[in-house]
Every structure is written in C-alpha cells, then in structure tokens.
Amino acid sequence: MTRTLDEAISEVVVSDNCSGCGACCLLDPGLSMALDRDGFLRPVRREGSATPDAQRLSQFENACPGRIVSSPRPRGASRHPQLGSYLESWVVWAADPESRHRGASGGSLTALSTWLTETGRVNRVVGATAAPQPRRTISVTITDKATALAAAGSRYAPVATAAVPDVLDPRGAVVAKPCEASALARMAAGLPEAERPVILSFFCAGTPSQQATDDLVRELGVEDPETVTGLRYRGCGWPGDFTVTTPQAEHTMDYRTSWGDRLGPSVQWRCKICPDGVGESADLAACDYWETDERGYPLFEEGDGRSGLLVRTERGRDVLHAALEAGVLLGEPLAAEKIVAVQPGQTWRRSNLWGRLVGARLGGRHVPRYRGFPLQRLALQDLRRTVRAIRGARRRALASAASRAR
C-alpha cells in the first residue's frame, strides 16, 4: 500500500534531514510549519488527515531537499566544482543608496525586487522579513520599494518561504534560500520558464536556531524579550551590526561575534551536510563579495556593500541585463574564481561533505541523496582532511544516536 505524505515527511523529520523549507506544505493545505523545541521550523499537520495519495507522495519525494538535491546543468553554462553551473558572474550593488545601505551586502536583491514589481515584470516577490514581534521572522509579499526595503537584509533565523501557498505562481518571483530554491525548482521541473516563478537566491551557510536569536537578545541585556520593537541581523552598513531595539535603548553586537560565535554555531544538522550553499537551482544567486586578508579570510570591515552575483539561467541573464540597462544595478563582470576566493566557509563545507556523509552513514544516520555534485572529487583532493571528516562525523552520529536512546 502507498504510504501517506505524513509518513514520508515524518521519515525526513525524524532522520533530522528536514531543512525547514516548507515546500511540503504546498502539497497539502492541512500542513503548516511550526517551531520545534530546538527552535527550527518543521512541518506539522493542523487540519485534515493524511490519506495515501501516490501523486502527492511522488511530488514530495522528488522535491523535498531532505530527500534529494541535484545540481542543475543548463545548456551552455560553465561548471565550477564549488559554485555549480553559471552563465556569467558579476559584482553588483544597488544604484539606489538606500537599498544598498539597508541591504545585507550590495542591496542587489532589494533593488531587483523593487524593480521587478514596480515595472510589472512580476506581480509580487515572496521574501522574508521581521514578524510583528521582530524576534521572529516570517515570509512576506513584496510589491513595491517600501515593502522591499522593509524586507532588506538577511534574517539568520528559521523562515519557510517555500511554504507560501501561491509561491509557484508563474507571474511572481521569490527570494529563497538554496534548499527552498531547490524544492521549488524541482516542483516546477519540466515546465517552460514562463510557467514558473523567477527564483532569486543567495549563498547560505545555514539556518540558525530561533533559540540563538532569543539568547542573543537576552545576552544584550533585554530583560523582557516581548518589549523588543526592532531586530535586524545585519545591514544598514556592510556587514552592519546585530541590532535590537526596545523603547528604552538600542543594543548592538558586531557581525563577526553575532554570526561567528552565536548564530552560526547553532545551525541545524541538515545545513551542515548541505551540498548546495550557493543557490544552484536559482535563476540568480547573490552573495557577499567581501574584502579579504592575504589568506582569503573575510575582513568584515564596514564599507559600501558589494554582492557577488551568479547568473544561472537564461532567464536570470535577461533579468540582470535589463536591470543593469535600467540603471537599477551597477557593477561589472567578475571572474567566478574571485567569488570562490572570498567564500572560505562555503568551499570548506563542500570539500568536507563527502567525508561527512560517509561518516554520518557509518554512524547509522540516514542522509539525503545528492546528484551531480562533485563531492567525491573534492574529497580526494585532500585525503587526510577527508579521513578526519569521516571520523568526526561518525563519532558525532554515534553520540547523537546514544543521546536519543537515553
């Protein structure tokens, strides 16, 4: 007998492979996303009951990034072992100084969202923004410059943009994390470009737990978290500070400490074994184009933001060039290798991933299927590092199984 969608989802959640993207909620209106006790979004059934449905099950199995992620190979694209397929690579920033200032890096996604909606190229952009209680993050519909600016900047907390009911509407666009972009692209696979939304993505080091945000708020001296009236993770400068506002005061922590020491270490397991932190399934993928030291490590010194931008598809190329022609984005072509050089976290994770996956399997974990990523090739480039990754992942998998059994 066909198993139910709920049984298939539960298998992903129990094995800790759920990224919290929310795409499964598109398959059944009785499902929605809720924070679990570790502070991550997971699908839960609110209404209705799960009955076996072979078509929905197959859609889920083909799209859920906790089950499968593939590396697309569009015709005519160059291939990079760390960046995937791309047609062009650029460094860009918003021509509008406010979008550039408020944006996470160059404000490129904010400028594109504004321009796409205000010119009628799309009817709306799905993105993420602060909730009415700004310690939380929610999905949002961007329809003009004001709503784009309100959503500018990165939210280092759980939010499921792929769960928005009409996110696959071909008249719209979405700003999505790479796992969300993968789920949406796989759900729309086989459709002509005009019948799927424009997918904008960004490089992603992983989704931190909501608890990490809440802990940071307390650490900064806010006694009653309900009094928080504003919370931004970065932006308003590049990279900008983690900033919490209450009626009494503004509290800040620099990016290196807030991301590096507090939020980053709390990312969920699925993000630690992510094969695609670079938005391979999107039309366009943006990232920080940091200034670096002589070893290639980002300096995180304040400056005017600049985004690296990878053009993944012909549709992405059309959007970028029209935006450049319209004077919405400024910038210049850039060798893709220069983007790799300022993203040590991404290259480290991909290079270690094969070892991590092998170690996790040896430790009894079930891991997703990854197709078309050169993980084994990258692992063979440094065998000692790979052996270390296998041992470490196996040890952690066994420890986690033992603690679950207690």
Ligand X SMILES: Cc1cc2nc3c(=O)[nH]c(=O)nc-3n(C[C@H](O)[C@H](O)[C@H](O)COP(=O)(O)OP(=O)(O)OC[C@H]3O[C@@H](n4cnc5c(N)ncnc54)[C@H](O)[C@@H]3O)c2cc1C
* Residues in contact with ligand SF4, shown as a per-residue x/- string from 168 to 187 under the rule CB under 6 A: ---------------x----
Q: How far is Cα 32 from Cα 26, in angstroms, rounded to an integer?
A: 9
Contacts of 215 (CB under 8 A, 6+ apart): 262
Question: How many CB atoms neighbour CB 300 within 10 A?
Answer: 18
Q: Could you give the 3-state DSSP secondary structure of residue 370?
A: strand
Residue 55 or 248: the one with the smaller Cβ distance to ligand SF4 is: 55
**Binds ligand X by CB under 6 A, chosen from 31, 83, 159, 329:** 159
Both tokens of 120, joined, read 């009628």
* Selection from 90, 84, 93, 276 nearest residue 176 by Cα: 276
- Return the H-helix or E-strand segment holding 125: strand 125-130
Shortest reach from residue 78's CB to ligand SF4, in Å: 29
Residue 43 or 331: the one with the smaller Cβ distance to ligand SF4 is: 43
Q: How far is Cα 401 from Cα 194, in angstroms, rounded to an integer?
A: 46
Q: How far is Cα 300 from Cα 294, in angstroms, rounded to an integer?
A: 14
**Binds ligand X by CB under 6 A, chosen from 170, 345, 374, 392:** 345
By the rule CB under 6 A, 18 interacts with ligand SF4: yes
Q: Which does 65 bind (CB under 5 to 8 A by kind): ligand X, ligand SF4, none?
A: ligand SF4
Q: Which does 197 bind (CB under 5 to 8 A by kind): ligand SF4, ligand X, none?
A: none
By the rule CB under 6 A, 22 interacts with ligand SF4: yes
Shortest reach from residue 210's CB to ligand SF4, in Å: 15
Q: Report the Cα 55 to chain-centroid distance in Å.
A: 27
Contacts of 372 (CB under 8 A, 6+ apart): 70, 71, 72, 73
By the rule CB under 6 A, 20 interacts with ligand SF4: yes
Q: How far is Cα 291 from Cα 199, in angstroms, rounded to an integer?
A: 27
By the rule CB under 6 A, 114 interacts with ligand X: no
Residue that has been written with the tokens 């009626």 in this structure: 247
Q: How far is Cα 7 from Cα 251, in angstroms, rounded to an integer?
A: 44
Residue 153 or 331: the one with the smaller Cβ distance to ligand X is: 153
- Return the H-helix or E-strand segment holding 183: helix 178-187
**Binds ligand X by CB under 6 A, chosen from 90, 203, 242, 269:** 203
Contacts of 396 (CB under 8 A, 6+ apart): 359, 360, 363
Shortest reach from residue 277's CB to ligand SF4, in Å: 15
Site for ligand X in 38-67 (CB under 6 A): none
**Binds ligand SF4 by CB under 6 A, chosen from 6, 16, 39, 65:** 65
**Binds ligand SF4 by CB under 6 A, chosen from 23, 130, 157, 328:** 23
Site for ligand X in 78-107 (CB under 6 A): 103-107
Cβ proximity of 332 and 307 under 8 Å? no
By the rule CB under 6 A, 277 interacts with ligand SF4: no
Choose the stretch contacting ligand X; rule: CB under 6 A; options: 19-27, 145-153, 181-189, 384-392: 145-153
Shortest reach from residue 115's CB to ligand X, in Å: 12
Residue 50 or 378: the one with the smaller Cβ distance to ligand X is: 378
**What is the widest separation between alpha-carbon atoms in the chain?**
61
Choose the stretch contacting ligand SF4; rule: CB under 6 A; options: 21-29, 191-199, 205-213, 337-345: 21-29
Number of residues that bind ligand X (CB under 6 A): 38
By the rule CB under 6 A, 154 interacts with ligand X: yes
**Binds ligand X by CB under 6 A, chosen from 16, 241, 283, 288:** 288
Shortest reach from residue 306's CB to ligand X, in Å: 9
Both tokens of 394, joined, read 């196996």
Report DSSP letters for 285-331, one per residue: EEEE---B-TTS-B----BS--EEEEE-SHHHHHHHHHHHHTTSEEE
**Residue whose Cβ sits closest to ligand X:** 127
Q: Which residues bind ligand X (CB under 6 A)?
A: 103-110, 113, 127-129, 151-156, 159, 161, 175-177, 202-205, 207, 235, 277, 286-288, 305, 307, 343, 345-346
Q: Which residues bind ligand SF4 (CB under 6 A)?
A: 9, 12, 18-24, 43, 64-66, 183
